[in-house]
């Protein structure tokens, strides 16, 4: 059952913000609408053109639109919609990926911009329990990024990307602070991307990480590409598999969906210890006879409850990895392909 949103008896406030167009379609714009009664923030990009023969497998060019978060409170959930010029829903397969980054906060394991939330073609609407939320301050710098696919031989005009974000204002009961945690099998480095090559046959890509602050991972989903078999989280010291998410694929190996888990047998979620080594492993099975350059990504994402939110590492804008990531989130020098990625 969808958690009930706390209602506020005030007139809806509408805020419209024009974004800088670095990396965006010339005629597109981002608008931010706040409905205080429904407790929803709606981010809309209209007048998008999707060129003909923009294939999903060819990694469409990513667009970037910065904007400001307009309200105090907590983000509790989101849903993505892709609409035609007449308002009808477009096929979900056209959404290669889209997401929102928080430029004012970094990730826990990596010196990268926080990916607040994201989605791909198989992502369903997300809603946290009423007792939880991601803390947000009015005026925080955010960036919307998206890439759309169009397999037809004609361009599609007047497309709208709409993101509806459930939020909760300050009230009598303060929700527990949770933060998005990303765990990557191929973390971004200076001069690199999250994407990696897929050789023919079965292959594994992995990377180790630590978190500087302990806490509880309450649930986890994943982002993978076609030909992915599974992604798992392991304890490096014990070798124990802590989470394993398998894929559902078509007969030719193309991705249909990726499993997720809420750690139902663990009352508080999965415990991650500070400074303890963990590993993310992505498994692919490429049935073709040729390698697929930059054809894969593999990372986990989920809500994380730190023991002490005040010990979350601060942004260091002098860090070259952070500067590179921030530049790409703003559309400065970005090129075709994934950089931000999407969480499932």
pLDDT tens digits along 176-206: 999 999 999 998 765 567 789 999 999 999 9
Contact (CB, 8 A) for 340 and 301: no
More confident residue, 17 or 287: 287
Class of domain 178-312: mainly beta
Backbone angles phi, psi at 294, to 5 degrees: 50, 35
Of 181, 184, 145, 210, the C-alpha closest to 301 is 181
Parse the chain into domains and list their residue ranges.
Answer: 29-176, 178-312
Helix then strand then coil, % of the chain, to nearest 5: 5, 50, 45
For residues 79-96, one letter each, b for 16 or more C-beta atoms within 10 angstroms of the residue's C-beta and e for the rest, the string is ebbbbeeeeeebeeebbb
Tell me if 29-176 shares its fold with 178-312. Answer: yes
- Above 90 in pLDDT, residue 290? yes
- Options 2.60.120.230, 2.60.40.10, 3.40.30.10, 3.20.20.70; which CATH number does 29-176 get? 2.60.120.230
Predicted TM-score (pTM) of this structure: 0.80
More confident residue, 327 or 284: 284
Q: What is the pLDDT of residue 238?
A: 98
Q: What is the C-alpha separation between 234 and 312, in angstroms, rounded? A: 23
Mean pLDDT over all residues of the chain? 85
């Amino acid at each position: 059952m969808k958690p009930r949103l706390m209602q506020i008896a005030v007139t809806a406030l509408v805020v419209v913000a024009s974004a800088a167009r670095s990396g965006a379609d010339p005629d597109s714009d981002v608008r931010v609408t706040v409905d205080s009664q429904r407790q929803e923030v709606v981010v809309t990009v209209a007048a998008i053109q999707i060129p003909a023969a923009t294939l999903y497998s060819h990694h469409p060019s990513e667009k970037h639109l910065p904007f400001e978060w307009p309200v105090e409170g907590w983000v509790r959930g989101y849903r993505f919609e892709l609409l035609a010029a007449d308002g009808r829903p477009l096929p979900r397969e056209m959404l290669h990926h889209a997401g929102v980054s928080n430029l004012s906060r970094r990730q826990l394991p990596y010196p990268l911009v926080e990916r607040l939330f994201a989605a791909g073609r198989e992502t369903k609407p997300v809603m946290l329990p009423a007792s939880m939320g991601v803390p947000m301050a009015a005026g925080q710098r955010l960036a919307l990024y998206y890439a759309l696919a169009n397999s037809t031989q004609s361009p599609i005009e007047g497309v709208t990307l709409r993101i509806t974000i459930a939020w909760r204002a300050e009230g009598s009961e303060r929700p527990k602070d949770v933060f998005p945690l990303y765990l990557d099998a191929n973390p971004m480095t200076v001069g690199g991307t999250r994407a990696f090559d897929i050789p023919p046959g079965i292959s594994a890509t992995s990377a180790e990480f630590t978190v500087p602050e302990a806490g509880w991972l309450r649930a986890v989903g994943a982002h993978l590409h076609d030909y992915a078999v599974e992604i798992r989280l392991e304890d490096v010291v014990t070798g124990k598999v802590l989470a394993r998410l398998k894929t559902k694929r078509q007969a030719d190996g193309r991705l249909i969906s990726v499993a997720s888990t809420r750690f139902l047998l663990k009352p508080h979620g999965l415990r991650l210890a500070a400074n303890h080594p963990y590993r993310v492993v992505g498994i692919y099975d490429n049935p073709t006879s040729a390698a697929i350059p930059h054809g894969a990504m593999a990372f986990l994402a989920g809500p994380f409850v730190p023991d002490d939110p005040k010990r979350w590492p601060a942004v260091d804008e002098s860090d070259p990895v952070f500067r590179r990531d921030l530049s790409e989130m703003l559309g400065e020098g970005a090129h075709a392909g994934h950089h931000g990625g999407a969480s499932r």
